[in-house]
């Protein structure tokens, strides 16, 4: 029998959290393949939250919706900062 006064700890495997870099890369590629401007479309999605900015081609829309929009911004900002040698 479990002690009800102890706090339970749950560990979620790494496959439960999507790799944000991989998601952005796949979504970018899918948008490009369909002839969209990937930067404009991803910005539109991040700003509005409207998933129709992202094509459903290659499951890109479903994929990007698994990641919080603030996580997308954080990943892109970190990459930008690193590419400019600020960090």
pLDDT at position 7: 78
Q: Which two tokens stand for residue 23?
A: 């998601």
Asked if residue 30 belongs to a domain, the reply is yes
Domain that holds residue 24: 19-83
Dist. CA 12–CA 16, nearest whole Å: 6
pLDDT at position 11: 65
The count of domains in the chain is 1
Q: Note the helical H segments in 2-68.
A: 20-33, 38-48, 60-64
Dist. CA 76–CA 81, nearest whole Å: 9
pLDDT at position 73: 96
Asked if residue 1 belongs to a domain, the reply is no
pLDDT tens digits for 4-62? Answer: 777 777 665 555 568 999 999 999 999 999 999 999 999 999 999 999 999 999 999 99
pLDDT at position 18: 81
């Amino acid at each position: 029998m479990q002690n009800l006064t102890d706090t339970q700890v749950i560990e979620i495997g790494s496959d439960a959290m999507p790799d944000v870099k991989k998601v952005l890369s796949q979504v970018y590629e899918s948008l490009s393949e369909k002839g969209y401007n990937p930067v404009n479309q991803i910005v539109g999605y991040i700003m509005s939250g409207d998933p129709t900015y992202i094509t459903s081609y290659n499951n890109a829309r479903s994929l990007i919706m698994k990641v919080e929009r603030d996580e997308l911004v954080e990943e892109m900002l970190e990459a930008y900062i690193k590419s400019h040698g600020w960090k």
